[in-house]
């Protein structure tokens, strides 16, 4: 899923300054799982904005709505009747959700309430871990299903750097050394020999380095 | 000129069995501006309820929970405590006095204790003054 | 001989090699380099020029190497993959060779979060082992990544680093083997303070037959004082400074700690010379290059052979 965090209320307020009415739109998919932009957070942010503006003696109309998936047109259309009554939209979707709303409601200013961070997993309630960079050529099969592109701070492909200490990364002891994880896992699986193979330079052309990516599937087209 | 009584909302856990035979109405009548909201467990309270309550013009919100060890649903009081703390962290970010939202315990069926807590809370909130100055559209 | 490197000649002749590190200035001040070069003149077989070490912006390694070459030194161009992608790295290798530089040390580099440009985009297009292979393919196949032919390919004597003290310890020799397999001709190790662990690393390397395939230069860093010893022990990633060493340098009066540090370095050199498979030393006197002659004299390595 996509993991995001709410922006500081000050920044959100500054973006919305001057609009007499704002439609606050949550997304009940990824960003709900990471407790950043689901229906709960949408209600919370709407109330917080009322309080923030109220403190300054302002009372813009603030309406909440939450849709199941902000990155798919079918769902986005469910708020179509609310949009014309509002001067601006505040999205609690990820970056993709914000841009999809802006594409569909092209005559409305759309603002992000979240900072989109990464593709990751819920390690436990309250902890989300980045574990995929979307490089476009999954190499997990070679590394015991631990991604060196994501979990190593230097994206090393041929083994750990000299900064690995007690299973921790030199960058920050809160970061687990991805290469220690790869080695531990392959050792447990009895497949450590995999790592003696030289991995040639990565083809980054399938990553964002090749420009914005797009998938077209004839069989799926209407 | 008559001043309007300030609005206080009290979310209280039903399992405390604080009210019976209409004494809830009697208490509300004695304390203008007070709204008593029974909930099945304090753990049902979430941060957005608390903020919304304030945004609706309430000057203070009190969450009355069972003792954490006595919670009928085991984790309910613990949860509501965390959520009150979370709501207070929002107030801090918004520059609003955190004291406007409080989490308290009372013994079961002890209406006097509740009334005392409400009076003390109301006094503290009144001392803070009105949350918003004049409103303009 | 694969190259016209003087370092390669020394090592191939079976002579105990001495290299030293020289950090370029934090600016364009030529006199700093000239001064450091003066301390090292006639004392070492080659001079490593660091590439924005610990991610602090300094004069480019390539420019400083060229300047040192002009001053009569044999430079080793350190290249990190942190700041430049494969286009820039390969282009710099062409340029380096055209400037008469014949040694390169391939590194990934300290993470940029350590330096004075923490907000930078870390490149890491290649890793150090991929860079080693790239330089080797340039030299031996005459081709760049992707297969295009090179007009007058650079013939570099290829170095890589090894850290015997980092985790996972069990993988360190395997990683060394990988670097050799990729094409490393010589290895310069992380600073040796823990001789016991270094000895064990070398034993494993010998058993794997690696010392037959590569020349290993043991890294030596003189400690200036007890504070530096403690700092290296606790604050520098991948460093192993044993407690007894910290105690030893802390045990002498402050005024004599520098002398004690030099003495420890000279002793360490003598000790690593006795370990089979150690082909030389790499002296990293961090901003203390003026002490290199003294350390080498104490270690009985006062002059360098003519090759």
Q: Which architecture, in CATH terms, is B8-128?
A: 3-Layer(aba) Sandwich (3.40)
For A153-165, the pLDDT digits (tens) are 999 999 999 999 9
Question: Does any CB of chain B come closer than 8 Å to the CB of residue A59?
Answer: yes
Q: What ipTM does the predicted assembly reach?
A: 0.92
Q: Is A209 a member of any domain?
A: no
> Average of pLDDT values for C147-172?
96
Confidence of residue B137 (pLDDT cuts 50, 70, 90): very low
Query: Given C110, C129, C167, which is nearest A164 (Cβ)?
Result: C167
| Residue range(s) defining the domain that contains residue A152 | 133-197
Cα C304 to the center of its chain, rounded Å? 18
CB-based touch C/B (3+ pairs, under 8 A): no
**Contact call for A47 and B48, based on CB within 8 A:** yes
> Average of pLDDT values for C219-242?
94
- Cα first-last separation, chain C: 13
For B66-72, which contacts have Cβ atoms below 8 Å and span 24 or more sequence positions?
A: B66/B13, B66/B15, B66/B16, B66/B42, B66/B105, B66/B108, B67/B105, B70/B108, B71/B15, B71/B41, B71/B42, B71/B43, B72/B15, B72/B41
- Nearest to residue A186, comparing CAs of A132, A129, A148? A148
* Shared-domain flag, residues A24 and A97: yes
Bridge partners of residue A88, in order along the sequence: A22
**Contact call for A180 and C167, based on CB within 8 A:** yes
Distance CA(C161)–CA(A163), nearest Å, equals: 12
Residue C225 in this model has a pLDDT that exceeds 90: yes
Confidence of residue B135 (pLDDT cuts 50, 70, 90): very low
Contacts of A143 in chain C (CB under 8 A): none
Q: Is A112 a member of any domain?
A: yes
Residue B56 is given by DSSP the state T
Q: Closest Cα of chain B to A56: distance in Å?
A: 8
pLDDT number for residue B5: 87
Whichever domain contains A27, its CATH number is: 3.40.50
* Shared-domain flag, residues A10 and A83: yes
Residue in A with minimal Cα distance to C174:
A196
Q: Is A111 a member of any domain?
A: yes
- Omega before C168 within 30 of 0, i.e. cis: yes
CB C110 within 8 A of CB A162: no
Contacts of A179 in chain C (CB under 8 A): 168, 171
* Shared-domain flag, residues A42 and A94: yes
Q: Closest Cα of chain A to B66: distance in Å?
A: 24
Proportion of chain A above pLDDT 90, given as a percent: 100
* Shared-domain flag, residues A107 and A13: yes
pLDDT number for residue C237: 81
Residue C228 in this model has a pLDDT that exceeds 80: yes
* Shared-domain flag, residues A138 and A111: no
Tokens of A17: 């300054």
CB-based touch A/B (3+ pairs, under 8 A): yes
Tell me which chains share at least 3 CB pairs under 8 Å with chain A. B, C
For B83-100, the pLDDT digits (tens) are 999 999 999 999 999 999
Residue C227 in this model has a pLDDT that exceeds 90: yes
The three-class DSSP label of residue A96 is: helix
* Shared-domain flag, residues A6 and A114: yes
Residue A48 in this model has a pLDDT that exceeds 90: yes
* Shared-domain flag, residues A25 and A104: yes
3-state secondary structure B61-102: EEEEECCHHHCCCCCHHHHHHHHHHHHHHHHHHHCCCHHHEE
* Shared-domain flag, residues A141 and A110: no
Residue B21 in this model has a pLDDT that exceeds 90: no
Q: Is A123 a member of any domain?
A: no
Task: Classify residue A87 as left (phi > 0), alpha (psi -120 to 50) or beta.
Answer: alpha
pLDDT number for residue B136: 41
For A178-219, the pLDDT digits (tens) are 999 999 999 999 999 999 999 999 999 999 999 999 999 999
Q: How many CB pairs under 8 A join A and B?
A: 50
**Residue at a domain's end among A118, A152, A177:** A118
Distance CA(C223)–CA(C225), nearest Å, equals: 6
Q: Which one of C167, C175, C192 would you mutate to disrupt binding with A, by most A Cβ within 10 Å of its Cβ?
A: C167
Class of domain C6-298: alpha beta
For C9-50, the pLDDT digits (tens) are 999 999 999 999 999 999 999 999 999 999 999 999 999 999
* Shared-domain flag, residues A8 and A98: yes
pLDDT number for residue B59: 96
Question: Does any CB of chain B come closer than 8 Å to the CB of residue A54?
Answer: yes
What is the residue extent of each domain of chain B?
8-128
pLDDT number for residue B132: 83
Q: Closest Cα of chain A to C178: distance in Å?
A: 7
Question: Does any CB of chain B come closer than 8 Å to the CB of residue A50?
Answer: yes
Question: Does any CB of chain A come closer than 8 Å to the CB of residue B94?
Answer: yes
> Average of pLDDT values for B18-24?
85
> Average of pLDDT values for A81-109?
98
**Residue at a domain's end among A61, A85, A118:** A118
* Shared-domain flag, residues A72 and A163: no
Query: Given A20, A50, A57, which is nearest B55 (Cβ)?
Result: A50
Q: Which residue has the tokens 């856990």?
A: B13
Distance CA(A41)–CA(A32), nearest Å, equals: 8
Q: Is A221 a member of any domain?
A: no
Distance CA(C227)–CA(B132), nearest Å, equals: 57
Residue B134 in this model has a pLDDT that exceeds 80: no
> Average of pLDDT values for C106-120?
96
**Which positions ≥6 away from A207 have C-beta within 8 Å?**
A133, A134, A135, A136
Query: Given A159, A177, A200, which is nearest C178 (Cβ)?
Result: A159
Q: Is A43 a member of any domain?
A: yes
- Nearest to residue B47, comparing CAs of B120, B111, B103, B113? B103
pLDDT number for residue C90: 98
Sheet containing B60-65: order of strands = B34-39, B8-13, B60-65, B101-105
Q: Is A124 a member of any domain?
A: no
* Shared-domain flag, residues A7 and A102: yes
pLDDT number for residue B2: 56
Identify the weakest region by mean pLDDT among A74-83, B50-59, C60-69, C236-245: C236-245
Alpha helix segments (H runs only) across chain C: 6-12, 30-40, 61-70, 86-98, 128-140, 172-182, 195-207, 226-235, 243-250, 257-273, 292-298
Q: What angle do CA C187, C190, C193 make, to 5 degrees?
A: 130
B3 CB burial (10 A radius; 0-12, 13-18, 19+)? exposed
Domain tally for chain A? 2
- Nearest to residue A49, comparing CAs of C14, C227, B55, B60? B55
Q: Closest Cα of chain C to A3: distance in Å?
A: 21
């Amino acid at each position: 899923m996509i993991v995001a965090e709410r922006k500081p209320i000050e920044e959100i307020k500054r973006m919305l300054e001057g609009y007499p009415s704002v439609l606050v739109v949550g997304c009940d998919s990824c960003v709900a799982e990471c407790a950043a932009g689901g229906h709960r957070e949408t209600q919370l942010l709407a109330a917080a904005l009322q309080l923030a503006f109220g403190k300054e003696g302002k009372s813009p109309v603030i309406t909440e709505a939450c849709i199941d998936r902000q990155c798919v047109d079918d769902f986005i259309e469910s708020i179509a009747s609310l949009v014309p009554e509002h001067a601006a939209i505040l999205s609690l979707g990820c970056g993709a959700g914000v841009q999809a709303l802006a594409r569909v409601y092209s005559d409305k200013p759309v603002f992000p309430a979240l900072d989109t961070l990464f593709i990751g997993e819920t390690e436990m309630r309250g902890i989300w871990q980045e574990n995929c960079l979307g490089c476009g050529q999954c190499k997990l099969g070679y590394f015991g299903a631990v991604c060196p592109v994501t979990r190593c701070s230097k994206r090393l492909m041929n083994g750990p750097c000299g900064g690995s200490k007690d299973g921790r990364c030199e960058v920050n002891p809160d970061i687990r050394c991805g290469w220690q994880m790869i080695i531990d896992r392959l050792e447990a699986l009895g497949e450590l020999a995999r790592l003696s193979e030289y991995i040639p330079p990565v083809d980054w052309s399938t990553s964002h380095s090749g420009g914005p990516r797009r998938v077209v599937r004839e069989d799926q087209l209407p | 000129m008559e001043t309007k009584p300030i609005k206080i909302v009290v979310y209280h856990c039903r399992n405390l069995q604080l009210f019976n035979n209409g004494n809830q109405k009697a208490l509300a009548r004695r304390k203008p501006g007070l709204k008593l909201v029974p909930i099945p467990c304090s753990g049902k309270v979430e941060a957005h309820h608390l903020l919304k309550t304030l945004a609706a013009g309430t000057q203070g919100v009190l969450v009355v929970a069972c003792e954490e060890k006595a919670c009928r649903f085991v984790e309910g009081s613990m949860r509501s405590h965390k959520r009150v703390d979370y709501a207070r962290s929002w107030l801090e970010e918004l520059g609003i006095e955190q004291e406007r939202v409080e989490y308290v315990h009372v013994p079961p069926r002890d209406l006097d204790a509740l009334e005392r807590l409400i009076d003390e809370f109301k006094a503290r909130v009144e001392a803070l003054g009105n949350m918003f100055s004049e409103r303009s559209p | 001989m694969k190259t016209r490197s003087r370092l390669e000649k020394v090592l191939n002749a079976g002579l105990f090699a001495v290299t030293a590190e020289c950090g370029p200035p934090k600016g364009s001040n030529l006199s700093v380099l000239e001064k450091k070069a003066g301390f090292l003149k006639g004392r070492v077989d080659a001079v490593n020029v660091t590439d924005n070490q610990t991610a602090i912006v300094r004069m480019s390694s390539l420019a400083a190497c060229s300047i040192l070459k002009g001053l009569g030194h044999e430079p080793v161009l350190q290249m990190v993959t942190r700041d430049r992608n494969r286009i820039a790295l390969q282009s710099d290798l062409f340029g380096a060779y055209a400037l008469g530089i014949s040694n390169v040390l391939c590194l990934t580099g300290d993470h940029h979060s350590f330096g004075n440009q923490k907000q930078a985009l870390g490149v890491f297009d290649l890793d150090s082992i991929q860079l080693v292979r790239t330089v080797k393919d340039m030299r031996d196949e005459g081709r760049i990544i992707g297969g295009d032919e090179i007009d007058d390919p650079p013939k570099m004597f290829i170095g890589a680093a090894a850290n015997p003290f980092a985790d996972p310890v069990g993988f360190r020799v395997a990683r060394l083997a990988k670097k050799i397999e990729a094409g490393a001709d010589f290895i310069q190790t992380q600073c040796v303070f823990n001789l016991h662990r270094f000895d064990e690393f070398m034993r494993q390397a010998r058993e794997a037959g690696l010392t037959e395939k590569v020349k290993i230069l043991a890294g030596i860093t003189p400690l200036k004082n007890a504070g530096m010893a403690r700092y290296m022990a606790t604050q520098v990633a991948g460093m192993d400074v044993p407690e007894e060493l910290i105690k030893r340098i802390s045990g002498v009066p402050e005024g004599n700690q520098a002398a004690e540090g030099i003495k420890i370095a000279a002793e360490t050199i003598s000790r690593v010379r006795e370990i089979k498979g150690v082909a030389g030393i790499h002296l990293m006197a961090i901003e203390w290059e003026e002490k290199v002659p003294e350390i080498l004299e104490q270690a009985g390595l006062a002059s360098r052979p003519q090759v």
